[in-house]
Chain A
Amino acid sequence: MSNETSVKIYGINGPVVTVESNDVLKMSEMVYVGNENLIGEVIGIGDDYSIIQVYESTTGIRPGEPVTTTGRSMSLKLGPGIVSNIFDGILRPLLRIKEESGAFIDRGINIDALDHERLFDVTVKVEKGQKVKSGDIFCTCPETPLIEHRCMVPNGIEGEVVDVVPNGQYNVDTEIIKVKTPSGDIVAIPMWQEWPIRIPRPFEKRIPIDTPLITGQRVIDTLFPIAKGGCAAIPGGFGTGKTMTQHQLAKWCDADIIVYVGCGERGNEMTQVLDEFSELIDPKSNEKLTNRTVLIANTSNMPVAAREASIYTGITLGEFYRDMGYHVAIMADSTSRWAEALREISGRLEEMPAEEGYPAYLPSRLAAFYERAGFVHALSGMDGSVSIIGAVSPQGGDFSEPVTQNTQRFTRCFWALDKQLAYARHYPSINWLQSYSEYFTDLAPWFSEKVNEKFASYRTRLMALLQEESRLMEIVKLIGGDFLPDDQKLIIEIARVIRVGFLQQNAFHASDTYVPLEKQYKMMEIIVYLYNAALELVGMSVPMSVILGSGLFESLIKIKYDVPNDQIELIDGYKTQIDEFVEKTKKEYANI
């Protein structure tokens, strides 16, 4: 692959560098720019001049300096040692950059993503004489206490295994097996492989999505669930809690691996994830959360071209682990910053802008990104999935802007964050009237089988009550609440229980930060139970003040704090209380 040539820099404009064209330059090829060997990518080839976007600051580069081509497209080295690490947008390990250049990132540091010194405890899975094809797993090794890394035969290689090493301690460069291809070449395969970031990894076939990604967040799991292999968008203005929601999902969702892409966001947020995840213990495995997390941090002050790449880096990692048979969830925070990076580069190229200055190809880029999610039967024979949860930061919180609108077209789950809810510190501030999940119908059979057959009907009931409340609130805003008939007052009261006691969830409360589906269902059930009981009383002309005086509404609101997650059966006690109250009141009013 060494068709390295060198061309000369002609012009420089921010991250965009023009070079004199030659016949060797390829589109999307990775190049080294200038004397400092900054990493860049070819994004346009013209008659006289070709265009390169540079992933680092271009200060100090001179026209005439060389640009070295590599012949390879912009690709990542994938292998064990990635999980639990933190990288920049083009997969350079930030911890090792820190060792090399201190607290600030210098330019032109080319450190490989993988640690070549570290030894892994390798178990070889194939034997001499066995036939292997692309995607087959030939060896495994523990990557973290949680994740077993499964090394796969790289794409395009198949044949007969002619040599294997015995099980033992090896570094990533060790050639574990040698394969004789049909054409007679012997190919040695190390533990790593390369993959171009802009090309989706192949798989056997897609399989229908029917399993939810359980997040432990009531408003998501119960009202607007996302499927494993699905896509969700979280749009919201600043301060509405996008990042908090992403953090909660990254902490508690039941994926095997989390890829957290901090794309053009705050540095301190990434530090927080690093700090917090290394202390938090995953309740299912009793291991540290970092052991299942990969962080891609391309903060807002890091070079803009690398920000554009960081999203692809994240999804490529996701697909790589999906192919090993894992369920991967990708948190992309925020896709708007990525779109802005596209716009910035497009502007420097003087392309014709479409809506709000974004390039006309924005929708197709977004679609291509979200289509890389899915639940698949991989080449390795295992089933795995990639789910994408993308935050969107619309300017001025206005959902009609192009990034939100286009994202909405390509995702089937929409969690709209609401400024008013955030102002009242109602978190997660997911607006229940604007949000939707098209996955619910696909997932309903799972819920009725694994949780309770009444799950879907209770959910519909909750949604209907909330809808009805919003209609009544329009009236209350005009005439005040006191003038409503009692059955409508009841709807407003029960909706308050749903909003405060169910939808609102406290991320800082030990038992409320993650709620198992079982408890979510029970809470929903008891709320509907109270509503039905109260409705019966209202029908007997029992005044609302008496019903509210029972204190049942307040105690239901506090179930989330008062009933620990391991004593869900306590909720049945509330049922008895409701029954007793209904009995007592019925007797009193039957006499009147």
Chain B
Amino acid sequence: MNIEYLGLSEINGPLIAIDNVKGASFEEMVEIAVDGGEKRMGRIVQMYGDKAIVQVFEGTSGLSRKNTRAHFTGKPMEMPVSRELLGRVFDGAGRPIDGLGEIFAEKRVDVNGKPINPAARTYPRNYIRSGISTIDALSTIIRGQKLPIFSGAGMPHDQLAVQIVKQAQIMGSGEESNEDFAIVFAAMGVKNDVADYFRRSFEESGVLERVSMFLNLSNDPIVERILTPLCALTAAEYLAFDLGMQILVIMTDMTSYAEALREFSSSKGEIPGRKGYPGYLYSNLATLYERAGIIQGSKGSITQIPILTMPNDDITHPVPDLTGYITEGQIVLDRTLDQSGIYPPISVLPSLSRLMKDGIGEGFTREDHPPLSNQLFSAYAKVMDARSLASVIGADELSENDKKYLEFGRQFEERFVTQGINENRTTEYSLDLGWDLLSLLPESELDRIDKELLAKYYKKQNTTQPRSDA
């Protein structure tokens, strides 16, 4: 249908209203020509009778009630996909911005995606080795998992994400080779330097050919920011489920995304929920995060590592809170650790991987892995108690046991948590290190491990020297 609608009736923030529309459908794409030249894209977000409310991706500045021509495309937002997506850079709406021309489309797919049938999922079980002790031993990443990094402004979440990308190895898999491995990177509202840091790091580690980047920088329009993860995940789904690749999706920063959503929601005049975020923030985030996983009949997988900065380091803020309810665990960074010079500053106790229990232990990592990690968590929790007691009555007055815990805590942070930005540890090494540390505690304190394992591993070895794996 090649009708053009001249002019519009209302402009409010990124939204415009067009009257007397015939035959348009909900969420259909609209092309808007301004002053006969510049083209902008928009999407119908509400319809009443013959009135359509359209959100304009590039913003509405320069629009007047008379100078536009709108053309309804008759289709929801689609994106061309093909193997050529890799090695390319796109803007938030999925248009190439690296000057290499358009993508030759294998097919065009709706960016909104469709929900995966829970009965058609394969439960993720193979772990990904990140080479980082706190992650591998205590919050193991599983292929097909969504595991966010909860960070704060000024903390090294980007470095950590890059280290994971560089060192990630898919373990326990049969036919998949690392050649099938690719990265989809979505930047939402991040600064140019950050996007550039990721690009350089990908280049240095020689994976740039296998990266597809979607960039919406902090000064780009917010409406495009809402589309960025949709486009990135659509690309990821195509690469994983149509081409059978192992895809790691990094999305940063989810807080900017949620803020864009809030800005957009308030300009639509919706009733706000907590802290002004729209009531559907949970559902909206879920439609992104739930696009991770493995489906039956395809050898590909999508593993997501979303990064979000907690405003004021507050984990109960709606964005980290709702994210935590959807994702399968979280890796939390801690400012106190960061300030005491510990890298990676992973706060062990609140970090968690929900899928870990089925991907570790005998047949996956090592038989002692589950009880060992359990014991380390429990011991480190007691360190916290001992420390708060020490701050009241002084370390000298502590009982012998509590003193041992203090020493355990110190060594745990120095030897186990701390590691180099290029240090790639094997899982065995991390586990042995865990046993070394537990040897600082009397056997009677190890109440999470049964007798046989204690006999086999407790105080059996000493691997004090850091050992790295190429």
Contacts and interface: CB of A to CB of B under 8 A. Distances in A.
B273 A268 contact: no
A271 B291 contact: no
B46 interface: yes
B122 A350 contact: no
Name B's interface SS. Answer: mixed
Contacts of B122: 271
A299 B24 contact: no
A508 B124 contact: no
Interface string B306-324: 0000000001111001101
A478 B273 contact: no
Given A301-B115, A350-B271, A267 B290 contact: yes
B117 A104 contact: yes
Contacts of B466: none
A479 interface: yes
Interface stretch (A197-205, A395-403, A456-464): A395-403
A97 interface: yes
Contacts of B318: 395
Nearest to A401: B274
A267 B330 contact: no
Contacts of A264: 282-283, 286
Contacts of B113: 104
B280 A557 contact: no
B273 A299 contact: no
B25 A299 contact: no
Interface stretch (B47-55, B87-95, B197-205): B47-55
Contacts of A554: 444, 447
A102 interface: yes
Contacts of B354: 239
B124 A59 contact: no
Contact of A481 (B49, B374, B399, B451): B399
B462 to A, nearest CB: 26
B282 A300 contact: yes
Contacts of B159: none
Nearest to A96: B119
B455 interface: no
Contact of B358 (A12, A266, A272, A274): A272
Interface residues of A, number: 78
B329 A482 contact: no
A46 to B, nearest CB: 14
Nearest to B329: A239
Contact of B115 (A105, A271, A424, A561): A105
Interface residues of B, number: 87
Contacts of B117: 94, 97-98, 101-105
Interface string B132-161: 000000000000110000000000000000
Contacts of A481: 399, 402
Given A11-B48, A104-B115, A301-B115, A343 B76 contact: no
Nearest to B314: A396
Contacts of A262: 118
Interface stretch (A60-68, A112-120, A380-388): A60-68
Most chain-B CB neighbours within 10 Å: which of A340, A420, A423?
A: A423
Nearest to A301: B290
Interface in A258-273: 262, 264, 266-268, 270-272
Interface stretch (B224-232, B385-393, B429-437): B385-393
B48 A10 contact: yes
A353 interface: yes
A571 B377 CA distance: 30
A262 B317 CA distance: 25
Contact of A267 (B116, B270, B271): B116
B325 A393 contact: yes
A480 interface: yes
A62 B25 contact: yes
A132 B273 CA distance: 53
Interface in B379-399: 381-382, 388-389, 392-393, 397-399
B123 A275 contact: yes
Interface of A: 10-14, 18, 57-64, 86, 94-95, 97-98, 101-106, 237-239, 262, 264, 266-268, 270-272, 274-275, 297, 299-302, 304, 337, 340-341, 343-344, 347, 350, 353, 356-357, 393, 395-398, 420, 423-426, 476-482, 500, 508, 551, 554, 557-558, 561
5 contacts: A57-B112, A60-B27, A94-B119, A301-B283, A424-B382
The 7 closest A-B pairs by CB, nearest first: A396-B316, A300-B286, A424-B381, A238-B324, A301-B290, A11-B48, A104-B114
Given A59-B26, A63-B49, A357-B271, 20 more contacts: A62-B23, A62-B24, A63-B50, A86-B119, A102-B117, A267-B115, A268-B121, A268-B293, A272-B358, A297-B118, A299-B290, A300-B326, A344-B280, A344-B283, A347-B278, A395-B316, A396-B316, A397-B316, A480-B399, A558-B450
